[in-house]
Structure 1
C-alpha cells in the first residue's frame, strides 16, 4: 500500500529551478530556502535526478553539524586524503568537482548549506562564480548561515526560491501518491491541518496511520475515520522537548490538547499566567487577539496528538473535568457542546440534562455521531425525550433499521405523540428502508382513524413523498403544496414535503416553482435540529430536478452554498454534499472531477452504512460518468451495482436506471440496444406523466444518433417543448430535428443552446454530429469549424469519449450500421461476437468493417478502432 516518496505538488518550483539552472542572465543555479521538513532536500534531489537522465554529471554534498568544526569537512570525500592546509585545498576541491568536466557543466547539489564550515562555504561561493558548474543549494530559513552562503543570493549569483509548505491540494496529491489511490477530501483536509503542509511530517504521518491500520479503502477511496496514531519517529520529528517538559508546562499543552482555543484568563486560572508566558516563549503555544479576548492555541496541531498519545487516561479525565467546570455556563451552542463533551469524557458525574441539550445542538451542527453519543448517555439516565432524539437522529443519519427499532416503540398505542412517530416511521420506511409498501400500510392506518388538521397535514407531508416514489407526480405535488401551505408542519415534516414537491416539480417540468421552494426549505431548515441535516439530502433531490429542467447553473450555486456548511462534517451530510458537488460537475461536463467526487460519495455510503437512495443515485451518476469517459468496464461495474440496489417499485428511479443502462451499453459499443432501452423507458415515462424523464430519454437517444427513430423522436421532442416551455426542451427538439434533417448548421445551433445551459458534454456531441454532416456535405470549412468546437468542448470535459465524438468527420460519413459495427470493434468484440450481437453473418460484419475502414482511411481493423477511439475530439481510451 505505501509507495515511495514520489514528488508531488512542486511543478511550479521545478520549472523555476530549471529556468535558473538554464543559465538565465548570470545565474549559476538556485538556492532553495525553507523551514525544516518542508521538502527542500527532496526537491533538490529530484532536480539532480532529472538532470542525470540527460547525461549531466551530478555530485551531492551534505552539510552536517558534526562536520562543521572540520575545515572543508563537507568536501573531504572529494579530496581523498587528510587536509593539512585548508586554504590551498580549496582549489583542489573545485578542480575535483569540475576539472574533469571541461566540455560539459557539472550539477552540484549542496544540502543544508547553512551547516557548512567557512572554507566549505567559500568553495560553494567560488563554484558559483565559475562558468563550469551549476548549483542547487538548500538552506534552512531563520537560522544563521555563513556569509559566503548568504552572498549567493544577495550578490545575484544564484536565484533564491523560498519553498512554502504544501497547499491543501498538493497535500492530498502527496498522500495519494503514498497510498496509491484517491483520498477523500475530509481526510486530506485532516492531513493538511495536522501537518501544515510540511512534507516530512506528512509522509511520516501517512505511514504511521497505515501501519496502525487507521486508514481504510472503501469503494476504491481511502479515508481516515479513526484516531491519530503517533510513532516515536513522528515524536522525534515534531519535538522531542515535549517529553522533557516540566509538569507545569506540560499542563499547558495537555489542557489545550483537550480543548482549543481557550481564553487566556480561563487557561491562566488552571495553569498560571507565568507558565503561559514561558510556553509562548518556547513556541509551544500561540496567543492571538480576537476582539477584546486573547485566545491561546497550540503552536503545532501535532503537539496535542503527541501529548494525548503519551498521557494516561485517568490524568486526562481529570484535565477534562477541570476544563468543563471552568467553561462558561452560557447557552451558546458551541460552548454547550464543548462543555458536554468534556463532562462526558471526564471524572465528573454524568449530566443527562446537559447531554440532551448538547444532542440537539450537535444535530443542528450536523455531527450526528456525536449527537447519538449524547442522546444515548441521556437515555441511560431514563430521560424519555432522549429516546425521541435518538429516533430522529438515526433517521437523519440514514440508519433505517436502527431508527425503525425505536420508532416502532414510540408509535405504539400508549404514546402521547403516536401519530407523529407513526408518520416519521412511514418516512423512514420510504427513504431509509426502501419499503414504500410498508409506509403505505402505516399511512393508510392513520388515515382510517381520527386526525386533527395538524395530523392530517403531517401525514400529507409523507404521503406526498410516497406518491412521488410511485411516480404519481400530480398527486405528490397536490399533497405537498397543501401541507406546505397549511403552516401546520414541524420542521422535519416541512422538509419532507419540500422533497416531495421538488421531485414532483422536477418530473412534471414545473421549473418556475423549483428555486422558490428550495429557498424556503433551506432557509427554514438552517436553524432546526430536526431538519438542518436534511438540507444535504434535499440538495441531491434538487440537483435531479435542476438537471431534468435544465437549470444547471442553479444546481452549481446551491452546491457551492451547501459546501460551505458541511465540508468538515462526518457521515451522511458530507456524503450527500459530495454527491451534490459531483452531480453538478457531471451536469457541467467536468467528468474527471465528477468521477472523483461521486466515488467519494459512494465510499461515504459504504463507510457509514447508509441505507438511503444515495447509493443508487451514486451508481447511476458514476455509470454515466465513466461511460462518457469511454471506460466501459467501470461503467458496467457501476451499472451492476445500480441494478442490484434499485427496487422495481421505486418507479421514480426507473428512468435514471434506464439511462444509466443506456450509457453503459453505449460505452460497450451496443448502440442499438442502448437506444432501444431509453426509447422504451421514454414511452413508460410518458404514460406516467413524467415529461422531463421522457425528455431525458429522447435527449440521450439523439446524442447517440438514433437514425431509424429520429422522425418520431423529433416530433415528440417538439411536442414536449410546447408542453414544458423549458430552454432544455427547446434545445433537445432543435437537436433532434436538425439531426433528422441532416442539418449541420442546425446542429451547431443546438450545440450553442446546450452551451448556454451549461451542458458541455451534450454540446460537444451536437457539434461533433455537425462536423460529420457538414464534412460529408462537402462544406469543409464549416466542418472544420464544427470539429474545432467539438474538440475544445471534449477537452474541457476531461476527455469526453462518446459515439458522436468517436466518429471522425470524413467526406463519406459512416452509415448507421457501419458506425454500430465499428463501435463494437472499439469495444474489443471479435467479428463472430459482433455477428451474434447484431443478428447478422460474420461475412456481413466483415463487409461493414471493410467499408468503414475505406471511409475513415484505415488499413486494418485495429486502425479503425484506433481512429474511433481518438475521434479527433476526446482522448484515447
Structure 2
C-alpha cells in the first residue's frame, strides 16, 4: 500500500497531516472563556463527532496563554484498573500507603489529589480527560473530588449513549461542570475540511458521497479520505479531486470501524453481514434469514437502526461504513455462502426496484445461480448507474450462458466504448453490423455506432457514412427517422446550424416517438444558434415531454432537452433563467449520482464566462466536466470543454494557461467541426486578446463573424462582433453586425448592438443604459464593462462625478463576477488614452517582447515601434518600458 502519484500542484504533502479545525471557532472561544472563569467543562457527543479535536484545540489555546495543562486519556483497558487513567501523571509515591486499612481508599484518593495539585503549584491546572466515560470508578471519584475544589479545572470529553460511572454522571448532574453537547458539522464545513485536507477543489458529487458515508463522524471522514486517497480511488484529475473506481478500505479504516462495532456473537455477526450485503432488509425478510432476537440485541448495541419502508419495518446498519468494511473483510467463501442464501431467499420477494435488481445480480455473480434474463436487465440498470466494470461482469456472465444473445453483445460493445476502449468497441459493433438480421437489430447497431464512434468520438465523416448506409437499409420502415435525426447532429458538425435546421425541420413535424425525441436535440440547439429562440424553446419542451411519455428508455437522458432549453435562454439574454435551470439539473444529478448529467450542466454553467464572468467558478466546473467525460470515454466532449476552459483561464489572469490549452487543442489531431458553432474561434480570439496580441485576436473575431454568417451560427457571429468592439475595434464591429442582428430574437442581441454603437460613437449615456440592461438580464461582466467604458469618456468631458460613479459601478459589478480580466475592466484608465496601434504595441512591450520581436509580429519597422512607445510613455506619464508592466499589470504574461 502506498500513496498515489500525482503531478498536480494541488496535491497535498501528506493526506495524514493534521487536518484543519473547521467550523469550531465559536465553540473553542466559548470553552476557553468558561475555563478562564474557572468553570470545568464536559464536551458530550456521539463517537467521532470531533470532541477530542475540539478539546485539544482548547488546550493548545490555553497553553499558548501560559496556562498549565495536562492531558490524559481513558481506554477500555485502563477502565479495569483503579486509578488507571492517572497512571501516566502520578508519581509512584502517591500510591504508597497502608494496605488493608478501612480508610485505604479515602487515603489513596486524598494522596493522589494532593500530589496532583502540588506537582503544578503555584499554577492552576487545567486537566483534560479524554473519553471520561471509560474511567474506572475510583478515577471517577477522584475527578469528582477535584472538580469540587478550586485547585483543578477539568476539561473532559464524553461519548453519549455510553454506560458511565456514577460520579462521571454526577459531574454535570450536580453542576460541577458545564455540559456542552457537541453536534456534527454542517455539510458546508465538512466540504471545506475536505478541500483543505486535499489542497484543491473537489467536485460536488465526491463531496456528497463523502458526507453521506461518514454522516457527521469526523474521525470516519478523515480515515475514509485517507483510505480512498491511498487506494488511488480519490484522484486529482487535472486540478479537480474526484472519486473514480471501487471502494477498498485500508487496514486503518477497517480497524477503526471494527473497534466501533465491537465483539459480536456468531449469530449477530451473520445478521450484520446479511445487512452489509443486502440492506435495507425488512423484518419479514430477516425472519427468513435469521432471528429477531439478534435484531433486538444489535439495536440495543446501537449497531442497527429501524425505519418504516412501505408496509413493513426495515433494518439498516447504524452507519454506512459498517457495511462497507464488513463486506470487504469477510472471507470469499463466507461471502459466497451469505450472498447465495440472500439471493435464494429474496430474489422473488418484495418490490423489484432497480436497486434490488442490481443487488440480486451482484449476489448471483459472487454466489452463483440466477438466470441470464435477470442478469442482463441488471446490467442495463448498472450501466446507467455508471458502474461500467460491474455491468461488464454481468454481461460476460450472460454471454457465458448465451453467446449469441444480441442484447448482451450490443451492451458489451457499448460498455467497451464507455470505458475508453474505442478500438474494441468499434470491432464489436462492426461484427454486430455484419450479423444484424432484423430491422430492429440494424437500427440498434447503427445507433450505437453513431453514438460511440461519431458523436462521442467526433468522427463525423465516418458517422455520416454509417447513417446513410443505415437509412438505405431501413428505407420504408418506421426506423428511418431515428437515423435521420442522428444524421442531423452530424450535419451540424460538418455544415453548421443552418444545415442541421434544414434536416430537422421536417422531422419535427413528421417524426414520432424516439425519432422525434432525438430530432428535438439537434433541432433545438441549431434553431437557437440561428437566432430562432422561440422555436428552439418549443423544440426543447417538445422533446422533453415526448421522451417522458415513451414506454422504453433511451440512451440519452431527458435532461438533454433541459440543456438545450438553458442554451436557448442564454442566447436570448435570459442568463438568470439559464443558470436556474442548469443549477437545478446539476443538483438533481449530484443527488442521483448521474455523472453524465453532472458533466453536462457543469459545462453549461461555464459556457457564459465571456458574458457573465466568474472565471474561477468556470474553471472548477469545466475541470469537473472534463474529468467526467474522460471517465465516460467521450473525447469529443473533452475537446469542447477545453475551448471554454482556455478562455476562463485567460480571464482568471492566466493567459499563458489559456494559450497552452489552445496549443494542445491545435496539436491534438482532432477533426475540426461546427458542433460548437464558431465558439472555438471566438475562444481563440479572447485568449489572444488577453495575451496582448490584439492583431491576432481581431483576426479571430472577424473570422468568427464571417464563418458564423456562412454556417448559420448567427448568435456566435454577433457575439464575436461584440467581442471585437469590446477589445478596441467598435467601428469594424459595427460594420459587421448590421446585417446579422436583424435575424436574431431576444434582448441580448439588442443590447450587444447597442453596446457596439455606443462604443463607436463614444456615447457615455448610452453606455450607462446598456450597462443597466446587461445587469438586468444577468450578464454581469458585460454590465461591468459598459460602465467601465463610460468612465474615461465622462472624464474627458470634464464630468469627474459621473466618471467616478461609472468606475465605482464597474468595480462593484466586477466584484460580483470574480473580477475577471478583460481589456475594458483592466485597462480603462490607461487604454482610453492610447490609439489602437499604441495600445497594441504597449501590450506587447509590457509582456516582455523586444522592439525587434514586436516589429516582426506587427509587420512594421523597429523605428515605428520606438515612436509608438515614446508616444505611449508621454500619454501615460511614465519614463520608459520598465514602468509599463506596472501600468498594464494584467497583461505582463509572456508567450
**What does 1:580-591 correspond to in 2, within 5 Å?**
580-583=604-607, 588-591=612-615
**What does 1:714-725 correspond to in 2, within 5 Å?**
714-725=734-745
Deviation at 1:842, TM superposition (A): 6.8
**3-state SS of the aligned residue for 2:236?**
strand
Residue 669 of structure 1 aligns with which residue?
692
Deviation at 1:506, TM superposition (A): 2.1
Q: Say yes or no: does 1:501 pair with 2:523.
A: yes
**What does 1:135-174 correspond to in 2, within 5 Å?**
138-143=157-162, 144=164, 162-174=181-193
Residue 643 of structure 2 aligns with which residue?
620
Residue 543 of structure 2 aligns with which residue?
521
Deviation at 1:371, TM superposition (A): 4.5
**3-state SS of the aligned residue for 1:661?**
helix
Alignment counterpart, residue 792 of structure 2, candidates 772, 779, 785 = 772
Deviation at 1:511, TM superposition (A): 0.7
Residue 589 of structure 2 aligns with which residue?
566
**Is contact 1:429–1:435 with CA below 8 Å preserved after alignment?**
yes
Alpha carbons of structure 1 residues 178 and 303: separation in structure 2 relative to 1, 3 Å = same
**3-state SS of the aligned residue for 2:478?**
helix
- Residues 83-107 of structure 1: CA deviation (Å, up to 9, x unaligned): 8876598688668768469xxxx98
Residue 625 of structure 2 aligns with which residue?
601
**Is contact 2:379–2:391 with CA below 8 Å preserved after alignment?**
yes
Alignment counterpart, residue 737 of structure 1, candidates 752, 757, 760 = 757
**Is contact 1:286–1:297 with CA below 8 Å preserved after alignment?**
yes
Alpha carbons of structure 1 residues 284 and 821: separation in structure 2 relative to 1, 3 Å = same
TM-score, with length taken from structure 1: 0.85
Residue 439 of structure 1 aligns with which residue?
463
**Is contact 1:423–1:462 with CA below 8 Å preserved after alignment?**
no
Residue 5 of structure 2 aligns with which residue?
none
Alpha carbons of structure 1 residues 51 and 774: separation in structure 2 relative to 1, 3 Å = farther
Residue 570 of structure 2 aligns with which residue?
547
**3-state SS of the aligned residue for 1:61?**
strand
Deviation at 1:617, TM superposition (A): 1.8
Deviates more, 1:787-796 or 1:406-415: 406-415
Deviation at 1:337, TM superposition (A): 1.8
Alpha carbons of structure 1 residues 32 and 831: separation in structure 2 relative to 1, 3 Å = farther
**Equivalent-residue separation in structure 2 for 1:337 and 1:275 (angstroms):** 27
**Equivalent-residue separation in structure 1 for 2:387 and 2:644 (angstroms):** 27
**Equivalent-residue separation in structure 2 for 1:51 and 1:701 (angstroms):** 61
Deviation at 1:633, TM superposition (A): 3.0
Residue 254 of structure 1 aligns with which residue?
273
**Equivalent-residue separation in structure 2 for 1:727 and 1:646 (angstroms):** 38
**Is contact 1:470–1:651 with CA below 8 Å preserved after alignment?**
yes
**Is contact 1:591–1:798 with CA below 8 Å preserved after alignment?**
yes
Deviation at 1:153, TM superposition (A): 11
Deviation at 1:516, TM superposition (A): 2.6
Residue 702 of structure 1 aligns with which residue?
725
Residue 783 of structure 1 aligns with which residue?
803
**3-state SS of the aligned residue for 1:296?**
strand
- Residues 299-321 of structure 1: CA deviation (Å, up to 9, x unaligned): 11122222222212222222222
Residue 467 of structure 1 aligns with which residue?
491
**Is contact 1:511–1:549 with CA below 8 Å preserved after alignment?**
yes
Alignment counterpart, residue 216 of structure 1, candidates 213, 232, 235 = 235
Alignment counterpart, residue 59 of structure 1, candidates 69, 76, 96 = 69
Deviation at 1:565, TM superposition (A): 4.5
**Is contact 1:623–1:634 with CA below 8 Å preserved after alignment?**
yes
TM-score, with length taken from structure 2: 0.84
Deviation at 1:525, TM superposition (A): 3.3
Alignment counterpart, residue 378 of structure 2, candidates 345, 358, 363 = 358
Deviation at 1:287, TM superposition (A): 1.0
Q: Which runs of 5+ in 1 are unaligned?
A: 872-877
Residue 274 of structure 1 aligns with which residue?
293
**Equivalent-residue separation in structure 1 for 2:121 and 2:681 (angstroms):** 70
Deviates more, 1:668-677 or 1:807-816: 807-816
Alpha carbons of structure 1 residues 50 and 410: separation in structure 2 relative to 1, 3 Å = same
**Equivalent-residue separation in structure 1 for 2:174 and 2:843 (angstroms):** 63
Alignment counterpart, residue 198 of structure 2, candidates 168, 179, 195 = 179
**Equivalent-residue separation in structure 1 for 2:395 and 2:813 (angstroms):** 52
**Equivalent-residue separation in structure 1 for 2:389 and 2:337 (angstroms):** 24
Backbone CA RMSD of aligned residues: 4.1
- Residues 248-302 of structure 1: CA deviation (Å, up to 9, x unaligned): 1111111111121111111221012222222212222111123421011011112
Deviation at 1:443, TM superposition (A): 3.6
Deviation at 1:488, TM superposition (A): 3.9
**3-state SS of the aligned residue for 1:787?**
helix
**Is contact 2:586–2:597 with CA below 8 Å preserved after alignment?**
no
Residue 54 of structure 2 aligns with which residue?
43
Alpha carbons of structure 1 residues 850 and 665: separation in structure 2 relative to 1, 3 Å = same
**Equivalent-residue separation in structure 2 for 1:618 and 1:306 (angstroms):** 38
Residue 235 of structure 1 aligns with which residue?
254
**Equivalent-residue separation in structure 2 for 1:156 and 1:655 (angstroms):** 73
Alpha carbons of structure 1 residues 862 and 797: separation in structure 2 relative to 1, 3 Å = farther
Residue 874 of structure 1 aligns with which residue?
none
Alpha carbons of structure 1 residues 294 and 588: separation in structure 2 relative to 1, 3 Å = farther
- Residues 592-641 of structure 1: CA deviation (Å, up to 9, x unaligned): 33222211111122334334x21112101211211111122322232234
**3-state SS of the aligned residue for 1:345?**
helix
- Residues 721-760 of structure 1: CA deviation (Å, up to 9, x unaligned): 3321321101111111111222223222222222222222
**Is contact 1:632–1:667 with CA below 8 Å preserved after alignment?**
yes
**Equivalent-residue separation in structure 2 for 1:477 and 1:682 (angstroms):** 19
Alpha carbons of structure 1 residues 776 and 738: separation in structure 2 relative to 1, 3 Å = same
**Equivalent-residue separation in structure 2 for 1:109 and 1:771 (angstroms):** 62
Deviates more, 1:273-282 or 1:764-773: 764-773
Alpha carbons of structure 1 residues 118 and 468: separation in structure 2 relative to 1, 3 Å = same
**Equivalent-residue separation in structure 1 for 2:66 and 2:763 (angstroms):** 59
**What does 1:273-672 correspond to in 2, within 5 Å?**
273-327=292-346, 328=348, 332-334=352-354, 337-338=357-358, 340-362=360-382, 370-380=390-400, 381=402, 382-391=404-413, 401-412=423-434, 415-417=437-439, 419-421=442-444, 423-424=446-447, 425-426=449-450, 428-445=452-469, 451-452=475-476, 454-489=478-513, 491=514, 493-526=515-548, 530-531=553-554, 533-535=556-558, 543-567=566-590, 568-569=592-593, 572-583=596-607, 588-611=612-635, 613-645=636-668, 647-653=670-676, 655-672=678-695
Alpha carbons of structure 1 residues 421 and 112: separation in structure 2 relative to 1, 3 Å = closer
Residue 875 of structure 1 aligns with which residue?
none
**Is contact 1:624–1:635 with CA below 8 Å preserved after alignment?**
yes
Deviation at 1:674, TM superposition (A): 1.7
- Residues 568-603 of structure 1: CA deviation (Å, up to 9, x unaligned): 536644433443454478864333332222111111
Deviates more, 1:558-567 or 1:251-260: 558-567
Deviates more, 1:342-351 or 1:278-287: 342-351
Alpha carbons of structure 1 residues 346 and 95: separation in structure 2 relative to 1, 3 Å = closer
**Is contact 1:627–1:666 with CA below 8 Å preserved after alignment?**
no
- Count of residues in Structure 1 that have an aligned counterpart in Structure 2: 854
**Is contact 1:71–1:118 with CA below 8 Å preserved after alignment?**
no
Alpha carbons of structure 1 residues 480 and 93: separation in structure 2 relative to 1, 3 Å = same
